[in-house]
A = this chain, B = another copy of it.
Amino acid sequence: MRIRDVAATTGLSAHTLRWYEKIGLLRSVERDRGGRRLFTQDDLRWLEFIGRLREMDMPVREMVRYAELRERGEQGDATLAARRELLEGHRQRVRERMDRLAACLTHLDDKIAWYRGQEDDHA
Contact = CB atoms under 8 A, between A and B. Distances in A.
A15 interface: no
A52 B116 contact: no
Interface in A68-96: 77, 80-81, 83-84, 87-88, 90-91, 94-95
Interface string A7-50: 00000000000000000000000000000000000000000010
A56 B104 contact: yes
Contact of A55 (B52, B100, B122): B100
A98 B102 contact: yes
B87 A52 contact: no
Nearest to A77: B122
